[in-house]
Copies of this chain bind each other. A is one copy, B any other.
Amino acid sequence: MVKLLDVTLRDGGYTNSFQFEQQVAIDIVDSLHQAGIDYIEIGYRNGPEEGPTKLGLSARVNRDYIHAIRTHVPGAKIVVMLHPHNISEQDLLELKEFNINVVRICIRSDNLQNGLSVIRSAKQQGLFVSANFVRVTYLSPLQIREWMLQAEAAGADWVYFADSNGHMVPDQVKEYAEIFKKVLQIPVGFHAHHNLSLGLTNTLAAIESGIDIIDASLRGLGKGAGNLPTEVYVSYLERMNIKHNYDLVSILKTAEYLENNVMHRPMYLTTRDLMFGMANFSNDFINPVMHEAATQDVSWQQLTLNLSKRKPIKPVFEEIKAVVADIKSLDKILAPTLEERSL
């Protein structure tokens, strides 16, 4: 049976600067636990990699916060995410002290050695460790598999791959998942994003390929286009008469509570998130792309589309400028034949 890990309080924190009230966090964890959700992520220890500067409870995961959740919901399997660059032995000790069930370590190509080192430290403290490989669409599945094997050798209990840019399509998810499952002894997880409106479909493709754990969040709350909504996944299981242990009614009510009391706006697919997913661009590039489009008077839609045609790509400032220049010179040639449209 595939396990379900809810990331509302962690990934969802990007939408509200991680400002969940402590009682709200307790209520969400309590409700999800009682509804049978297998694992519940409560935030980042010591902050996300990037993000807003004034961050709330679930971006810090300090003693008081963990203690409150642990006290009120002793039976829940609690997950905390961390970044290798800002974690001390003392942090790991505290996570162990409060019996955090899983620590997830974000690993990218540029922090692999640091990530492996944190895996080893966390294992020495007796923690259960997931090595989460993010932004996997920048890399080949064989490259990531090689790193996953290193994580496994370093003691990781799980590995995960995350479609951080929301660029994956189902056949690609299958390709990655099957390559990973073929060689890894430990469970493999998958984290989808919804930029191409394929959050559920990509997750189902991963499950079909034998994946062991999936991520989801209430109402899809998450960075950019957001995640597969927890309630959509469970409704799908219900729709397909797939046996499950989740209380759908309770999950729906918790989702609605979140929507009515916490969320600033519903998660919906904006055209920007759609285009950034199509183009395989990280959210990190929103500011430079939008800024250059605005100041150079080209449309960000055209700029994103033209940039995407140079894939595989991580747009850097020079490249953005070059594409802007291309668009402008083309505009100049075409200008006399173009009429201004009413839209």
B198 touches A302 (CB 8 A): no
Partner of A235, one of B196, B200, B239, B302: B196
Q: How large is the interface on A (under 10, 10 to 19, 20 to 34, 35 or more residues)?
A: 35 or more
A340 CB to nearest B CB, Å: 13
A238 to chain B: closest residue by CB: B278
Determine whether A9 belongs to the interface, using a CB cutoff of 8 Å to chain B: no
What's the dominant secondary structure at chain A's contact region? helix
Interface centre among A31, A248, A267 (most CB of B within 10 A): A248
Q: How many copies of the chain does the oligomer comprise?
A: 2
A224 CB to nearest B CB, Å: 15
A269 touches B239 (CB 8 A): no
A238 touches B197 (CB 8 A): no
Given contacts A198-B201, A232-B197, contact A343 B275 (CB under 8 A): no
With a cutoff of 8 Å between Cβ atoms, the chain B residues found around residue A167 in the complex are 239
Those of A234-292 within 8 Å (CB) of chain B: 235-236, 238-240, 248-249, 252-257, 259, 266-269, 271, 274-275, 277-278
Determine whether A55 belongs to the interface, using a CB cutoff of 8 Å to chain B: no
Determine whether A115 belongs to the interface, using a CB cutoff of 8 Å to chain B: no
With a cutoff of 8 Å between Cβ atoms, the chain B residues found around residue A248 in the complex are 301, 305
By a beta-carbon cutoff of 8 Å, the part of chain A in contact with chain B is: 27, 30-31, 34, 167, 169-170, 194, 196-201, 229, 231-232, 235-236, 238-240, 248-249, 252-257, 259, 266-269, 271, 274-275, 277-278, 299, 301-302, 305, 308, 341-343
